[in-house]
Each structure stands twice: as structure tokens, then as C-alpha cells.
Amino acid sequence: MKTLKNHLGLITSLVIVILIAIAPIVSGNAASREVVFTILRAIVLASSLNILLGYTGYVSFGHIVFFGFGGYVGFYLITAQGQSLWVAMLAGGVVSGLLAYLLGKAILRLRGAYFALATIGVNEAVRAFINNFEPFGGPTGMTMNFSVYQEYGGAMKALEMSFYIMLVLALLVVVLSYVVRTSKFGLGLLAIREDEDAAEVMGVVAPDAKTWAFVLSAIFPGMVGALFFFKNGSVEPLDAFPLHTSIEMIVMVMLGGQGTVLGPILGAAGYQRMRGLLVTSPIFKNIQLAVSGGLLLLIVLFVPAGVIGWARQRWPKLRRVLQ
């Protein structure tokens, strides 16, 4: 019982993710399932980014590079090597982590705006590389035969399965985020966020800690990329490395509350649901981007710490639950 009480923050976060996903599971409604798939994908991406942005304080404007790179490697393994989705996702996660490790060694020495700029450069460089890399189809990308879905019981089953895999990934990333936040390693990251020089004086090996935070924040986007493009049936450079999605990831983290476990979940769900509703709303559909921009502006102006950050300040007693 005491253990449960100690991990109330984790339990709350997991329950909220399950609540978000429960409607299509109960009703079996395909349209609802697709909506929630988009939300869960956003939760995985935002929670992953939060490990770097929220805990460590490093803004990565090109974080989508891991989604694209992992997606490409996974898609290549499925279409050209005949591997299963499981191998593809695993490989997508591993190569993204590896890419983050190598990049981390090189660019995490930069701080502030210089690091942010470097991440944009990395995204563009990887996209240019893929654009000229023939085994990955160069600029034309790759397409998957419809018959591949037969191995998973047909397209209908494959798409349904993708949803459940995404739900598992979302739950796993929440656990990872919580474990990092409550570990000694996580405390080191929070110290770096507050003052990197002071953290080093206190014994935090900042370059190593930052690199591992970067790696952890890259693995799940890589796996999600492999799953997303498997479900889409095709991949091409422009779809795999959209800079605007990187920015949306940052917005989702800020909206919910950076540096918290629950914040990115609420931020991602709220942002995606808002976009989804505006896109299909008869009143707002033609001005949906302007409306969502305006709403974001209001929230950032009045709740700069994000929803969870503000709630934690407002009701200190709830801090155990709202982590």
C-alpha cells in the first residue's frame, strides 16, 4: 500500500493514458480508434522529448529526426528485407538511440540557442542524406505492398494492432519518463537544467548524463516512426522529417507542463484533440490554424508553467499525484 502511495504520480499518469484510449477499445469504433492513435502518437513523441527538454532543459527543434530515421530503417527492413514489424520497431528504436548517442557526443557540448540551432541542422542534414541514399529509395521513398498486411491477419487487423502497439508504447514511455524523473540520474538532469556548471561542481557528469538523456528521448520516437510508416504503407523524405512536427512536440510539452510526467500527456492529448476538433468543425475548419494559434497564445500567456506546473503551484498537496 505504501509502495502504491509512493508511486501515485505514475499510477495517475498511466490511468489517464488508459482513459484516453478506452473509448475505441470498448466501442470498437474505427474512426474513434484512428483519432486516439494520433493522440497516443503525440503522447509518445511529447513524453520522449520531455526527457530532454523538460528534465534537462535542452530545447531540441529537430527531434523529429529520430522519428524519421527510425521509421526509415524500420520500413526498409519490412519492405526490402522481409522482416516483421517487431524487428523493424526494435531496429528503429536502436538506430535512433545510436544516432542520438553519436550526435549527443558531438552537439551536446553546445548550450542554449546554439544547441537548438544545431538540432535543426541535424534534421535537415539527415533528410538530405536520406534524399540521396538509394537503398532507401532516394527522393521517391519506399512503398509497401498491401499483401504485407496479410501476415498480420489483413489490413483491418494490422491497423487495429497498430493502435494497441501504440498504446503499449505510450504506457512504456510514461513508465520510462517516471523512472527517469524519480531516479538519481533524473535528479542529475534536473540539476543540469537549473545550472549546469553548479551541477558539475556537485558531481554530476554533465556530458554523460545529457547524452544518455538524449538517447532515452530518441528510442521511442524511432519505434513510433517504424510503426507509423508501416501503418501508412509508404515513406518519403518530406513526410519523415517535418520540422513543424518538432515544433508541435515542443508546444505540447510546454502546454502540459515541462519537466513533469503528466504534463506532456495532457499537453499532447489536449493539443491533438483541439486540432482534430477544429479540423472537422463546420465553424472553425477554415480558420482552424489561426484559432489553435490563438488558443495556444492565451494558454502560454496565462499559464506559462503549463497546466500541471500551474496546478502543482496552486495546490501543493496534489504534488504527489500530479508528477
Partner 1 sequence: MKRSFTILLALVLALSLVLAACQPKAPAATETSGGESGGETTAKTQTLVIGFTASQTGKYNVSSGRQVNGLNLWMKQINEAGGIKLSDGTVVTFKAVSYDDESNKDRVQELYTRLATEDNADLLISPYSSGLTAAAAVIAEQYGKVMLTTGAASDATYKQGYTKVFQMYTPASRYLTGAVDLLAKTDPSVKKVAFVYENSKFSTAVVEAAKEYAASKGYDVVLFEGYDPETTDFGPFINKIQDAGAEAILGGGHFQDGSAFARQLYEKNVPVKFVTLLVAPPEPDFADLGDAAVGIIGPSQWEPLAAFKPDFGPTGKEFEDAYMAAYSEEPSYHSAGGYAAGLVLEKAIRDADSTDPDAIKAALDNMDLTLFFGKIKFDTSPEAHGLQIGHSMIYIQWQKDGDKLGKQVVWPEDGATAEVLYPLH
Stretch near partner 1 under the rule CB under 8 A, chosen from 47-55, 59-67, 137-145, 165-173: 137-145
Q: In the bound complex, what is the minimum distance in angstroms from residue 101's beta carbon to partner 1?
A: 28
How far apart (Å, rounded) are the C-alpha atoms in residues 273 and 40? Answer: 11
Stretch near partner 1 under the rule CB under 8 A, chosen from 98-106, 166-174, 176-184, 237-245: 237-245
How far apart (Å, rounded) are the C-alpha atoms in residues 169 and 176? Answer: 10
Q: In the bound complex, what is the minimum distance in angstroms from residue 188's beta carbon to partner 1?
A: 30
Task: Please name which of 246, 219, 230 lies closest in space to residue 163, comparing C-alpha atoms.
Answer: 230
How far apart (Å, rounded) are the C-alpha atoms in residues 171 and 217? Answer: 15
Q: Which helix (H) or strand (E) holds 205?
A: none
Stretch near partner 1 under the rule CB under 8 A, chosen from 49-57, 115-123, 171-179, 232-240: 232-240
User: In Å, how far are 229, 272, 289, 313 from 304, measured between CA atoms?
Assistant: 34, 19, 21, 12
Judged by CB, which is closer to partner 1: 98, or 295? 295
Q: Where in 113-132 is the site for partner 1 (CB under 8 A)?
A: 131-132
Judged by CB, which is closer to partner 1: 27, or 81? 27
Return the residue of 133, 247, 310, 321 that touches partner 1, per CB under 8 A.
Answer: 310
User: Does residue 285 interact with partner 1 by CB under 8 A?
Assistant: yes
Task: Please name which of 87, 90, 70 lies closest in space to residue 130, comparing C-alpha atoms.
Answer: 70
Return the residue of 121, 146, 297, 320 that touches partner 1, per CB under 8 A.
Answer: 146
Q: Where in 256-275 is the site for partner 1 (CB under 8 A)?
A: 256, 266-267, 269-270, 272-274
Return the residue of 16, 25, 90, 247 that touches partner 1, per CB under 8 A.
Answer: 16
Q: Treating both helix axes as pointing N-terminal to C-terminal, what angle do 85-107 and 64-79 enclose, rounded to 10 degrees?
A: 140
Q: Where are the beta strands (DSSP E) in the chain?
A: 142-143, 234-235
